[in-house]
Structure formats: C-alpha cells, structure tokens
Amino acid sequence: MQWPDFKLESLAMRLFAMTLLPVLAIAQPALAQSCADPAAIAAARSGLESNYQDILSDISCDAPTLPAHQILCNDPLLWEMEVLNTWAWVYATENATGQETDHGNPPRDTDVIARRDACTDVACLCDVLIEKTNESLGGMSPYPQ
C-alpha cells in the first residue's frame, strides 16, 4: 500500500516541529549579542574577579529545567552576564553593609531571581540582568544607564 504524499509531508512536518523547533526556541545566541558588549562584560568581570570568583551562580547547568536556565546555560554571553550579576549583587551587599559575606553561601536577591526565572526569552533575560547589574554596580556597570 502506498501512502498519499500529503500524509508523509504532514508526518515530516510534525517530526520537525517536535524535534527541532524546541531547540531553535532555546538557542538564540544572536539576540544576546545585541543586548551587551562582550568586551565590556569581560572587563567588568575582571574588575570583580579577584574578590568574587569563588561565588557561584544559583543556577546549575547540569540539567536545567526552567526555560530561563536552559537559555542561560546555552548562551555563553548570557552566562557571563549572569555571573557578573551574581558577583555585582554580592559586591553591592558588602559595600552597603561594610561586611564581607560568606562566599560559599552568599546572599541571593530573591526578587531578581524570581524575575529572571520567569523569563522565557533572551530579551527578557537581558533586561533583568542589565537592570540589576546597573543597580548593583552603578557607574562601574558595563551596560548603558
């Protein structure tokens, strides 16, 4: 028995949609490039690195389940922005209190984490990370203010 062509095309389209479209929806590195200057982020990170390199993000990329975490873990520039934001928050906290925090268990900005984790695209993540990093670093931030 021969299958009608329209069914094969329909089946092929369904297979494409089920396998490739979810990957394409997550992999959007070109958009992250447009929201930040990689050299400026690297420079800002290098300014904080000596004191804050031991502070890890709250995100584990071993098996990310949230769309925001999947996007962050698959986009090197967004990941750099996430790490910078994490360091910037601890830097701001230490400056505000005048006391060094426990870098093994640093304070977390739960409001920003909730906003970040609610993102489902690169643009939202850029907005959240840039806004909070600007707030934490002020004039030292690599982003326009």
Q: Is the model's pLDDT at 136 over the cut of 90?
A: yes
The 10s digit of each residue's pLDDT in 91-120 is: 999 999 999 999 999 999 999 999 999 999
How far is Cα 49 from Cα 68, in angstroms, rounded to an integer?
Answer: 25
> What pLDDT does 31 receive?
54
The 10s digit of each residue's pLDDT in 30-65 is: 456 679 999 999 999 999 999 999 999 999 999 999
Q: Is the model's pLDDT at 70 over the cut of 60?
A: yes
How far is Cα 36 from Cα 144, in angstroms, rounded to an integer?
Answer: 9
* More confident site: 68 or 22: 68
Q: Which of 18, 25, 135, 143 is nearest to 80 (CA)?
A: 143
Tell me if residue 100 falls in helix, strand or coil: coil
Weakest mean pLDDT among 26-30, 76-80, 140-144 = 26-30
Return all residues near 51 (Cβ < 8 A) that are at least 6 apart: 91
User: Which residue shows structure tokens 């739960």?
Assistant: 110
* More confident site: 87 or 8: 87
Residue at 41: amino acid letter:
I
The pLDDT-based confidence of 145 (bands split at 50, 70, 90) is confident
The 10s digit of each residue's pLDDT in 72-84 is: 999 999 999 999 9
Are 70 and 108 in contact by the 8 Å Cβ rule? The answer is no
Return all residues near 145 (Cβ < 8 A) that are at least 6 apart: 134, 138, 139
Tell me if residue 44 falls in helix, strand or coil: helix
